[in-house]
Structure 1
Amino acid sequence: MARKGILTSALTPPTPTDNTSSEKPRLMPRGAVGALQSTLTKLQENAVQDIDVSLIDNAGVEDRLGIDDAAQTQLIESIKEYGQQVPVLLRPHPTAQGRYEIVYGRRRLMALRALGLPVKAMVRHLDDQALVMAQGQENNARQDLSFIEKASFAAQLQAAGYDRQTIAAALSVDMPMISRFLKVGTAFSIDFLRQIGSAPSIGRDRWLRLADLLKSLPDKPERLARLFLKDSFAALPSDERFEMVLAAMEAETSEDAPSSDAKPKADAIAKPQKRQLTGRDGKPLADLKSTPRGVTLTIPSSSSDGFDTWFATHAEELLQDLHGRWKKQATED
C-alpha cells in the first residue's frame, strides 16, 4: 500500500490552493517513477500465478520431436502425488486478450491438462525474439534433448529469419557448432523428423549419412512412406526407428548399384537384436542391444538401486578385465 501511495502521488497533479506562494510543488523525478514502475513489473513477472490451462496456446519453435509416453506418464504421476514443483513460463497472447502462450514447460502443461489442474506459471512480456531466446536457454539447461532435436530447433529458427548469431546465443553454443547443427537440421523436414522422433543415441555422423542417402534417392520415398504407416514401426523406440529407416535407404542404394555380394533386402532392414540380462537371483539387471554397428548396454537407473552409478565408476577396469578374458580365450582357441 505504501508503494501504491507513492506512485499515485507522483502521477497525480497537485490540487490548487489559496496559497499564493511562488514555490513550485515538488514532484518525484521521472527517473524515480520509471524505476518504481520497473520494479513493480519485475515483481509481477516473478510472481507465480495459477492459470487455467484452457487459456494457454503454443508458441515459439517446436523443440521436442515426440513425447516419450512412459516418461510423460511418470511426470503425470509425480505431479498427481507431489504437485507441480517448477512453474512454467508464459507470455500474454499478442493478439487474443486474456489468453497466454507457452514459452517453456510444455510437458508440465500437458500433464496438468491431463489431470485437469491449473498451471503454476510466471508471466512475462516477451517479444518473439526474447521468446525464442528464453526457450533456447531452457533447452540448453536440459540434458535430455538429443542432437537432432537441437539441430531441428536451430534450423527452425533460421527458417523463421533469425541470424546465426542469435541462434548461437539462444542455444549457448559457438558458431562452428551452429554450422554443424544447421547442416543436419536443414536436411530434413520437420514432418520427417516427427516420424522418427528424438533418436537420443544417434549422433551427427549417422544423421549426415541418412541425409546423404536421401539426397541420392530423392525420387524413391515410397518405401519410407510404407514404413512410416506400419503400426510396428510406430511402436518401436525412436533409436530403432532411425536404424530401420537408415537400413531401408541403404537397401535402396544397394538395389540401384547391383553387386554380387549385396545383402538380401530382408537382412538390410532387420531389427536390432535386444535381450535382457538378469542377475543370479533372476531379477533384470540390464538391456543389451546388438546392431551391425555395435553393442549397447543399458542399466536402468530407476530399478538398479545404484548399480548403474557403481558400474559407471568402474566401467574401464571391468571392460579391461572382460577384454583380457576374451583375448586369452581367443588365443587358446
Structure 2
Amino acid sequence: MARKNILKGLMEAPKTDNNPPARVDAAKPRYTTGAIGAVSQSIADLKRRSVIEVDPRLIDTAGLHDRLDTDTDLAALVDSIREYGQQVPVLLRPNPNDAERYQVVYGRRRVAALKQLSQPVKALVRVLDDRELVIAQGQENSARKDLTFIEKANFARQMRDGGYERKVICAALHMDKTLISRMLSVADRTPLPLIEAIGSAPGIGRDRWLALADLLEKSDRDGVALAVGETSDKRFEAVMRGLSKPRAKQSPQVETLRNEKGTAIATAKRGNDKMVLTINSKNAQGFDDWLVTHLAEIHRNWKDSTGG
C-alpha cells in the first residue's frame, strides 16, 4: 500500500486549499534524484511514449509556418476524422508561457479539424525548446511526401531568417547544403506574396521554380497579378506564361515644343527606352547649333542640381 501511495504521489500534483490541481507536464518528472527520482524518471519515459487526449481549445500554434494552402482540403480531413477517427497523433509541447496550455509542434491541420468537430486531440507531449521544436517540425515535414518543394523552400527561408545556422536547417530537413542553397535561392528571388498567391503547387518541382526565379529577375512585372487559375499548379503556369511573353511595345509619345510666340521649334518622341529630339532648324534660328555646343554643360548643371 505504501508503494502504491508513492506512485500515486508521483502521478498527481500536490493540492492545497488555495491552489487548484496543476497540470503535470507529460515529460517532466517531479523528482530527479534518489530512488524516487529513478521511479519518477521511468514514469516520465513511459509518458513520453504514451498518447494522451487534449482539449483542442488548449492548443496554441508555435514554430514556423510550413503549409501554404492551410485551408485546402480541411473539409475533407474533417469528414475523414468524423468517420474514421484520428489515426495519427500530433506532437505537442507544454506552452512555456502558460502552464495550463500546449503548443502544437506538428499536426496543425489535425488540430484544426478536431477543433471543428469538438473532439479531443490524441497527442504525444515532449518538452522542447524553440530550437528543438523547429528541428522536430522540419524533420516531420521532410518525411511527409505531400509537402511540396516550395513549401520546404519557404520553411528553410523562415529558419534562416530566424537565425538558425545552415547545419541546423540541413538537419531539420534532412538535406545537404547544396539542396538547401538551391531552395533558398528560389525563396529569396521569389517574393513571398507571389509564393502565397500561387500556393503549394504540388506538381511543380525544383527546376520549374528555379526557372521562374530566373524570369522574375529579368522582369519588372507584377507576378501576383498574373497568378490566376483554379488550382495552384495552374496559377504557377499562368505566371510563367505571363513573364515569358515579350512586353508589348508602347506607342511612341510625341510632344511638340514651342517658343514664346507659339512657333513649333522641335518635337520630342518618347519610346520604350529612348527619346528622339528633332529640331526644326528653320524655326530654331541657330538654337540647334547652340544646344549641341552646350549639351555637355547643360547635362553637368543638371547633375549638380539633382545631386547626381
- Where on the TM-score scale, by shorter chain, does this alignment land: which range? 0.5 to 0.7
Q: Take 2:247 and 2:169, find their aligned partners in 1: how far apart are those partners? A: 40
1:5 alignment partner in structure 2 = 6
1:157 alignment partner in structure 2 = 159
- Classify the secondary structure of the residue corresponding to 2:53: strand
- Counterpart check, 1:56 vs 2:59: yes
Q: Take 1:189 and 1:141, find their aligned partners in 2: how far apart are those partners? A: 26
Give, in angstroms, the shift of residue 166 of structure 1: 0.6
1:265 alignment partner in structure 2 = none
Q: Is the 8 A contact 1:75 1:111 kept in 2?
A: yes
CA gap 1:4/1:257 in 2 versus in 1, 3 angstroms: farther
Q: Take 1:187 and 1:38, find their aligned partners in 2: how far apart are those partners? A: 49
Q: Take 1:215 and 1:3, find their aligned partners in 2: how far apart are those partners? A: 70
**Percent identity for Structure 1 against Structure 2:** 48
Q: Take 2:7 and 2:51, find their aligned partners in 1: how far apart are those partners? A: 25
Q: Is the 8 A contact 2:215 2:243 kept in 1?
A: yes
Give, in angstroms, the shift of residue 245 of structure 1: 1.2
Gaps of 5+ in 2: 11-31, 251-308
- Counterpart check, 1:91 vs 2:106: no
Q: Is the 8 A contact 2:186 2:209 kept in 1?
A: yes
Q: Is the 8 A contact 1:152 1:186 kept in 2?
A: no
Query: What is the aligned residue count?
Result: 229
In the superposition, the TM-score normalised over structure 2's length comes to 0.67
CA RMSD of aligned residues (A): 2.8
2:234 alignment partner in structure 1 = 240
Give, in angstroms, the shift of residue 7 of structure 1: 10
Q: Take 1:170 and 1:241, find their aligned partners in 2: how far apart are those partners? A: 29
In the superposition, the TM-score normalised over structure 1's length comes to 0.62
Alignment of 1:1-333 (within 5 A): 2=3, 5=6, 30=33, 33-67=36-70, 69=72, 71-218=73-220, 220-221=221-222, 224-227=223-226, 233=228, 236-251=230-245, 254-255=246-247
Q: Is the 8 A contact 1:61 1:156 kept in 2?
A: yes
Q: Deviations over 1:105-126 (max 9, x none)?
A: 1121121122122211122111
2:289 alignment partner in structure 1 = none
- Classify the secondary structure of the residue corresponding to 1:90: strand
CA gap 1:226/1:141 in 2 versus in 1, 3 angstroms: closer
Give, in angstroms, the shift of residue 36 of structure 1: 3.4
Q: Take 2:7 and 2:53, find their aligned partners in 1: how far apart are those partners? A: 29
- Classify the secondary structure of the residue corresponding to 1:186: helix
Q: Is the 8 A contact 1:88 1:105 kept in 2?
A: yes
Gaps of 5+ in 1: 10-28, 259-333
Hey, which bits of structure 1, 4+ residues long, moved more than 3 A? Answer: 1-4, 6-9, 29-37, 224-228
Q: Is the 8 A contact 2:197 2:224 kept in 1?
A: no
